[in-house]
Amino acid sequence: MRIHREGYPFLLAFSLATAALFLVWSPLGWAGVVLTLWCGWFFRDPDRVAPNRPGALLSPADGVVCAIVSASPPPELGMSPEARIRVSVFLNIFDVHVNRVPADGTVTALHYRPGKFINASFDKASEDNERQAIALRLADGRDLAFVQIAGLIARRIKCDLAVGQSVRAGERFGIIRFGSRADVYLPFGFRPTVGVGERVSAGVSVIAEALPFPGAGMTSTPGERP
């Protein structure tokens, strides 16, 4: 099983603590073994094959769709403030926490914002919690935003992207530690293909698709709603 590099320091700490517990009392040591195995499981980084489906947006995270609402993208990204559909995925401590890019495109903006650590399943977590926001320009000129959000237990967001970087759908881009949330603000002209309560997998599950529209073979200018 592949382990994400962010997990190695934790595995070492858990292993050392487990060894010390065995010296104190063996039942505590076995409890430490269980926790060490859980730590390895939490930081697992399975290989995924993204579906070859034009016009599809993939989930950036494993978890359960907890909300589909109309909302403006994070203002710090400098995108149009016009409300668009937001699909939110809640990750519990047993989900894979490695995040993946939802679509092919170019990163146009990144912004990290400190904040609170309220339960990520609450809708206000999108506004109040610590977050890393990313803006992505698609090949047709439309843009989308996706956001890593810290949760009640999560205390670290890791994003490996850079402004100007070209990315592919399903590509790994970061990790959130210990329970969190991921939001995707859909480009105009896309509709969700999932429902609240549905389980999704990062880089595999299609959460939205482009709607056909007149002149679909033409590109739109950035920020223009087709």
pLDDT band of residue 213 (cuts 50, 70, 90) is low
For residue 145, what are the β-bridge partners? 135, 185
Structure-token pair, residue 53: 């489906």
- Once rounded to an integer, what is the mean pLDDT over residues 7-29? 92
Is 180 one of the catalytic residues? yes
The pLDDT of residue 20:
95
Is residue 193's pLDDT more than 90? yes
pLDDT band of residue 154 (cuts 50, 70, 90) is low
Mean pLDDT, all residues of the chain: 89
The pLDDT of residue 123:
75
State CA 18 to chain mean position distance: 31
The pLDDT of residue 224:
43
Task: Please give the model's pTM, rounded to 2 decimal places.
Answer: 0.86
* Nearest-angstrom CA–CA distance, 174 and 78: 22
- Looking at 180, 201, 205, 220, which residue is catalytic? 180
The pLDDT of residue 94:
87
The pLDDT of residue 142:
96
How many other C-beta atoms are found inside a 10 Å radius of the C-beta of residue 211?
A: 12
Q: 220: exposed, middle or buried (C-beta count within 10 Å: 0-12, 13-18, 19+)?
A: middle
pLDDT band of residue 148 (cuts 50, 70, 90) is very high
Is residue 60's pLDDT more than 60? yes
